[in-house]
Amino acid sequence: MSTNDYVKYMAKTLIQRMETPRSERKKQRDERKQMKTPFLVNWLGMVPFSLTMWLKKDRRKIWRMIKQARYSDR
């Protein structure tokens, strides 16, 4: 891609962006965000996602287990 082609492309995208209303751009941005997969799932698979779901579900029970484990070592 030559420099001239790149300048044409950038000018075209800039004009398109300026012509679309702000509300439409915000709506498009929100749609893109919703379609995106979470960062941890993208890089580490389903394990972090499943752990967070498990922690949210049994938060109180898990914290009790952790506290008991801490104090039983003393």
- Residue recorded with tokens 């949210």: 56
pLDDT of residue 47: 81
State the DSSP string of 1-41: --HHHHHHHHHHHHHHHHHS-HHHHHHHHHHHHHHSPPHHH
Kindly give the confidence (pLDDT) of every residue in the chain, 74 residues in length, as a single tens digit, with 9 standing for 90 and above.
789 999 999 999 999 999 999 999 999 999 998 888 777 777 777 787 788 787 787 777 777 888 888 777 65
pTM of the model: 0.43
For residue 30 the two structure tokens come to 């929100």
Kindly list the domain boundaries of the chain, sorted by start residue.
1-36, 38-74
